[in-house]
Amino acid sequence: MSPTATDRAPGAALDVRSITKRYGDTPAVDAVSLDIRAGEFVTLLGASGSGKTTLLRIIAGFADADEGSLLVDGQELRSVPVHRRDIGMVFQNYALFPHLNVEQNVAYPLRMRGMRGPERRRRVAEALEAVHLPTFGRRRITELSGGQQQRVALARAIVSRPRLLLMDEPLGALDRNLRDALQLEISRLSRELGLTVVNVTHDQEEALTMSDRIALLDRGRLVQFATPDDLYHRPVDDTAAAFVGESNLFRGSVRDDGTLDGADGVVFSPPSLVDGSAVGSGRVAVMVRPSLVRITAVGSAPEAHSRVDGRVSGIVYAGDSRKIIVTTASGTELIAREDAARPLDVSVEQPVTLHWDARSSIVTRLAAGSAGATAPAPETRRTARA
């Protein structure tokens, strides 16, 4: 049976305030603040060393922050012991007990709380039903596939009806097809149970598929906290633009007439590309997604399109699409992605022109530390479509 509405534990609101964790002089988490709403599915996304797992461990209680606070429904969490935080946890390696069967593994958190008898059996049955393993209770862990073990780990994490579920790369060890299926299962389950979920991954596709909002971290800093749509289409700076999805990035200085100088020889259209009031003066980045770029013979691009010349340096087939890699005269590699069903009308070493509609260009700021970046005024955190 599925949990009833009265059985569901509503998700808790989690307020992460200026959490900082240092190892020596190096900040692993650098003053990160997140306001996570009750029932929200949030993913901490970033490359290795970005601080996402450290932040998750601090929320779980496995590590302590040097500064900042953690509030769950307004109550400070940092002083609460791990076993009293009412948090479910799904580990990357699942951490199941091989000497116990499925039912015993799922029941373990309830047994630690002293729950006995029919109520414990009912909770375990509901948890296994929720992950589509209702008949697997008597099986040994060693008899299960990787995907089934992942479901058991998830059932164990939700059986005590925690208000906050933490997941540390729970799908990393699975094959692509199974991972895609379980992404949808976990999203469904979190909504049905009303859980607040904080998920850690380096897989941007997983983050975009599952999340209500994504916190992108880089070298311990929070780069952007936004919906998948905003993060993909309105990156706050060139770090976000480069990390999330494939992107072609051009960096240059804004001239007085609003055009961009020093951007790999790109001719931008219309001439007034940059709204100075939106992005400020100095150097900026312009992003265009490869799927919006078209490729043609040199000199054949529509006059109204932005364009850049180059030479085809590689063609990569990727199932239903192909990537055409073009190198500009300055050595910059750009990508056009097109439907693999289209006839291939270019070849390696062929001179070509890449072009795109002016509305496909996204103007954003340079992150601190980018070449030529200047400290932006508060309003420059917006992005402008040009």
Q: Which pLDDT tens digit goes with each residue over 202-239?
A: 989 889 999 999 999 999 999 999 999 999 999 999 99
Q: How far apart are CA 219 and CA 365, in angstroms?
A: 18
| Nearest CA among 144, 112, 114, 117 for reference residue 128 | 144
Check if the beta carbon of residue 346 is closer than 8 Å to that of residue 255.
no
CA distances from 114 to 7, 98, 314 (A): 19, 22, 62
pLDDT tens sequence across 127-144: 898 888 999 999 999 999
Token pair listed for 207: 């983050």
Burial class (CB in 10 A: 0-12, 13-18, 19+), 32: buried
In the chain, what are the helix, strand and coil shares in percent, each to the nearest 5? 25, 30, 40
Q: Residue 216 forms beta bridges with which residues? A: 45, 224
Q: What is the pLDDT of residue 64?
A: 94
Q: What is the pLDDT of residue 70?
A: 95
What superfamily does domain 240-385 belong to in CATH? Nucleic acid-binding proteins (2.40.50.140)
Check if the beta carbon of residue 16 is closer than 8 Å to that of residue 70.
yes
Check if the beta carbon of residue 125 is closer than 8 Å to that of residue 1.
yes
Do β-strands 248-254 and 260-261 pair in parallel, antiparallel, or remain unpaired?
antiparallel
CB within 8 A of 290, min separation 6: which ones? Answer: 246, 247, 248, 323, 334, 335, 336, 337
Residue with tokens 């009293």: 84
CB within 8 A of 161, min separation 6: which ones? Answer: 3, 7, 8, 9, 123, 193
Q: How far apart are CA 254 and CA 111, in angstroms?
A: 64
pLDDT tens, position by position, for the chain (386 residues)? 344 444 545 789 999 999 999 999 999 999 999 999 999 999 999 999 999 999 999 999 999 999 999 999 999 999 898 888 888 888 877 788 999 999 999 999 898 888 888 999 999 998 898 888 999 999 999 999 888 888 898 889 888 888 899 999 887 767 777 778 778 888 888 888 888 999 999 989 889 999 999 999 999 999 999 999 999 999 999 999 999 988 999 888 777 666 677 666 787 776 555 554 444 556 788 899 999 999 999 989 998 888 899 999 999 998 899 999 999 988 999 999 999 999 999 999 999 999 998 888 888 888 876 654 543 333 323 333 33
Token pair listed for 257: 């007439």
Q: Residue 45 forms beta bridges with which residues? A: 201, 216
What are the start and end residues of each CATH 2.40.50.140 domain in the chain?
240-385
Check if the beta carbon of residue 106 is closer than 8 Å to that of residue 155.
yes
332 φ/ψ angles, rounded to the nearest 5 degrees: -75, 135
Angle at 216 between CA 355 and CA 89, to 5 degrees: 140
Q: How far apart are CA 296 and CA 355, in angstroms?
A: 8
244: region left, alpha or beta (phi > 0 left; psi from -120 to 50 alpha): beta
Q: What is the pLDDT of residue 93?
A: 77
287 φ/ψ angles, rounded to the nearest 5 degrees: -115, 140
Token pair listed for 354: 């890449």
Within 121-266, strands assigned E span 164-168, 196-201, 213-218, 221-226, 248-254, 260-261
Do β-strands 164-168 and 196-201 pair in parallel, antiparallel, or remain unpaired?
parallel
What are the start and end residues of each CATH 3.40.50.300 domain in the chain?
14-228
Longest CA–CA separation in the chain, Å: 78
Q: Is 14-228 a domain of CATH 2.60.120.260?
A: no
Q: What is the pLDDT of residue 199?
A: 94
Check if the beta carbon of residue 279 is closer than 8 Å to that of residue 355.
no
Check if the beta carbon of residue 371 is closer than 8 Å to that of residue 293.
no
